Homo-oligomer: A and B are copies of this chain.
């Protein structure tokens, strides 16, 4: 299930889990298409919402799209078992949560140890959970951002891989702040996926070390 013939090298076959429009998925697909995601590749996309627009983005890019409505399963465990079974033929060795709105249990996470990452629209640990942008506006911060982190059993609590700050100006509403955060995520998430595939990211406890890429061809220059 986890890696096939190269279980000990860095992950290269990424499956993306989505629930919504999939703009972060699109950023990954676009970079994969132009070769700048290599050596990482997107081998499958799965959604717990069959109607998610993200599945159309996957199909348009020629990537296998899996629709599994979580409401049609009797339990969280049954849903996760079906998800693992549907992913298995594509042999992913890492998972990207890109707007995936279901909490994963240790059952699923255990199949990809230290190889599930999530992107969250705040500078964690501030504004964890749902509605992060609305939380930030209600609090009145002038800086928020995005966080890419490893997923553990807690919600939005895993070790942080990378963060980017995004300003909030007086009068900004959730729409404009969301657009600004998404622009940051669309650069950061692919950069993290690529760095993972290049074996440049290691994690000891909560401390994540990212070895700089130093690649002048890396348009993102983010990691």
Which residues on A are within 8 Å of B, measured CB to CB? 123-127, 138-143, 145, 159-160, 162-165, 170, 206-210
Q: How far is the CA of A123 from the CA of B141 in the complex (A)?
A: 8
How distant is the Cα of A165 from the Cα of B164 in the complex, in angstroms? 9
- CB pair B145–A160 under 8 Å, yes or no, is no
* Number of identical monomers bound together in the oligomeric complex: 2
A170–B139 contact, CB under 8 A?
no
Known: A123-B123, A170-B210. A164 touches B143 (CB 8 A): yes
Partner of A141 from B138, B142, B163, B209 at Cβ < 8 Å? B163
Bound form: Cα–Cα A136–B125 in Å: 9
Across the interface, which residues of B come within 8 angstroms of A145, CB to CB?
Answer: 143, 165
A51 nearest CB across to chain B (Å): 35
- Binding site of A, secondary structure by majority: helix, strand, loop or mixed? mixed
Determine whether the beta carbon of A123 is less than 8 Å from that of B139: no
A124: chain B residues within 8 A (beta carbon)? 126, 141
Q: Which residues of B contact A141 (CB under 8 A)?
A: 123-125, 160, 163
Determine the residue in chain B with the shortest Cβ distance to A158. Answer: B140
Q: Is the CB of B143 within 8 A of A165?
A: yes
**Cα(A208)–Cα(B170), bound, Å:** 8
Say whether B123 contacts A207, CB under 8 Å: no
CB-based contact B142/A162 at 8 Å: yes
Q: Which of B125, B140, B159, B165 contacts A165 (CB 8 A)?
A: B165
For A159, give the chain B residue with the smallest CB separation. Answer: B140
A143 touches B170 (CB 8 A): no
22 residue pairs A–B, Cβ–Cβ below 8 Å = A123-B123, A123-B141, A123-B143, A124-B126, A124-B141, A125-B139, A126-B126, A139-B206, A140-B160, A140-B206, A140-B207, A140-B208, A141-B160, A141-B163, A142-B162, A143-B145, A143-B163, A143-B164, A143-B165, A165-B165, A170-B209, A170-B210
Q: What is the distance, in angstroms, from A43's C-beta to the closest C-beta of chain B?
A: 28
Question: Which residue of B is nearest A208, CB measured?
Answer: B140
Q: Identify 14 new A-B residue pairs, CB closer than 8 A, beyond the known A124-B126, A170-B207.
A: A123-B123, A123-B141, A123-B143, A125-B126, A125-B127, A125-B139, A138-B206, A140-B159, A140-B206, A140-B208, A141-B160, A142-B163, A143-B165, A165-B165
